């Protein structure tokens, strides 16, 4: 397939390059890795080469960059070709320097008939058909109506927020994300799809959450929050902001780490009131696993939380152990068959490591 072809092309280039590959132990060398994103629905491909260019002189680097661009073009089908520069020892941040050396500065993917532009540093689900199952689950659990304001935390390029704005009856959607380039994409995505009831803010959620919620809560809107954090879970200060703002009555949590960070975050959301957690606790109402990664043991978990006092459990339902609830969620993730299985899309990411 086209991604494997470009990975092979990159490996061919490395075998003839005078610049050395990056050594992860010694932290020396130039070529680190190649990441490829491809949309089966739009037939657009993005290639991103990560380099440590400081380990060679500028003339040698410019010569090899030009040769690489020509070499990769011979395979055809490249919509966007980027070089990202990183001298650190771990992984680059989304907003670290990136240079577009050929093609457009983004590619386009489709969800629910909506078009989304994807920049090099932006997060986007790798399995598009299954992502539609996932987002439909989120929309159904959020249950936003015309009197609701939906808050999309960890908004990324705005996929969840814009899909909710189009597919639900939410009066307004506000998306927040720390990645400035992703938020710019989100704004452009909303405009391109004619979605005029979605607003996006580039900031740490905990810095603007209270102001946004107080401002819109005064309008008498029912506030529903959706969070889709990275594997590490929500930042502690963001968790506290959500827990302590009782204007948020309903919370939909999308977790890619249901046996790890989700359990810890559930304890903070549902635990007893404390000096830092002053808001009424949430209660886990429903958990739905969605299989985004067929032929693996992993699944995404979508949890619906409601504020204690709003949700009335059925007779005989145990409510006396937050830790028990969290453990039950973890057990569900490990044991239950995922209900939202979709065939794995050709829209995925492939990485060909240039490291030793």
Active site residues: 256, 300
Give the chain's length.
356
Cα angle value 137/337/348 (rounded, 5°): 65
**Which token pair is 137?**
């689950």
Integer Cα distance of 14 and 198 in angstroms: 45
Which residue is listed with tokens 């997060």? Answer: 123
Q: Is 95 helix (H, G, I), strand (E, B) or coil?
A: coil
Integer Cα distance of 28 and 20 in angstroms: 8
Q: CB of 53 within 8 A of CB of 85?
A: yes
**Which token pair is 328?**
């039950």
Long-range contacts of 286-289 (CB under 8 A, 24+ apart): 286/141, 287/329, 287/332, 287/333, 288/137, 288/141, 288/339, 288/340, 289/258, 289/332, 289/333, 289/336, 289/337, 289/338, 289/339, 289/340
Strands (E), the chain: 31-39, 44-51, 80-85, 98-103, 107-111, 114-118, 148-153, 172-177, 198-202, 222-227, 248-255, 282-290, 300-307, 349-353
**Which token pair is 58?**
């500028």
Give the CA diameter of the chain: 74
Integer Cα distance of 142 and 123 in angstroms: 22
Cα angle value 21/22/23 (rounded, 5°): 115
């Amino acid at each position: 397939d086209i991604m494997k072809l470009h990975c092979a092309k990159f490996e061919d280039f490395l075998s003839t390059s005078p610049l050395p590959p990056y050594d992860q132990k010694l932290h020396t060398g130039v070529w680190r890795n190649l990441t490829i994103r491809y949309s089966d629905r739009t037939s657009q491909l993005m290639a991103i080469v990560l380099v440590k260019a400081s380990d060679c002189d500028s003339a040698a680097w410019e010569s090899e960059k030009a040769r690489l661009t020509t070499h990769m073009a011979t395979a055809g089908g490249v919509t966007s070709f980027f070089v990202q520069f990183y001298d650190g020892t771990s992984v680059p941040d989304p907003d670290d320097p990136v240079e577009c050396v050929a093609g457009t500065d983004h590619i386009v993917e489709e969800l629910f008939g909506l078009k989304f532009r994807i920049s090099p540093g932006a997060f986007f689900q790798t399995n598009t058909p299954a992502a539609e199952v996932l987002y439909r689950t989120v929309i159904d659990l959020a249950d936003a109506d015309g009197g609701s304001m939906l808050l999309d935390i960890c908004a990324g390029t705005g996929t969840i927020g814009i899909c909710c704005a189009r597919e639900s009856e939410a009066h307004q959607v506000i998306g927040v994300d720390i990645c400035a380039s992703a938020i710019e994409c989100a704004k452009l995505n909303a405009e391109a799809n004619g979605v005029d009831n979605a607003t996006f803010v580039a900031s740490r959620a905990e810095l603007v959450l209270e102001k946004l919620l107080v401002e819109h809560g005064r309008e008498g809107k029912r506030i529903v929050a959706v969070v889709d954090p990275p594997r590490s879970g929500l930042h502690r200060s963001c968790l506290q902001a959500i827990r302590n703002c009782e204007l948020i009555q309903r919370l939909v949590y999308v977790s890619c780490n249901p046996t790890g960070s989700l359990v810890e975050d559930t304890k903070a959301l549902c635990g007893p009131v404390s000096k830092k957690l002053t808001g009424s606790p949430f209660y886990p109402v429903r958990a739905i696993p969605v299989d985004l990664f067929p032929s693996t043991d992993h699944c995404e978990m979508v949890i619906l939380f409601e504020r204690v006092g709003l949700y009335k459990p059925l007779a005989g339902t145990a409510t006396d152990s937050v830790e028990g609830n969290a453990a039950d969620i973890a057990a569900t993730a490990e044991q239950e068959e995922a209900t939202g299985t979709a065939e794995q899309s050709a829209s995925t990411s492939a990485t060909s490591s240039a490291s030793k």
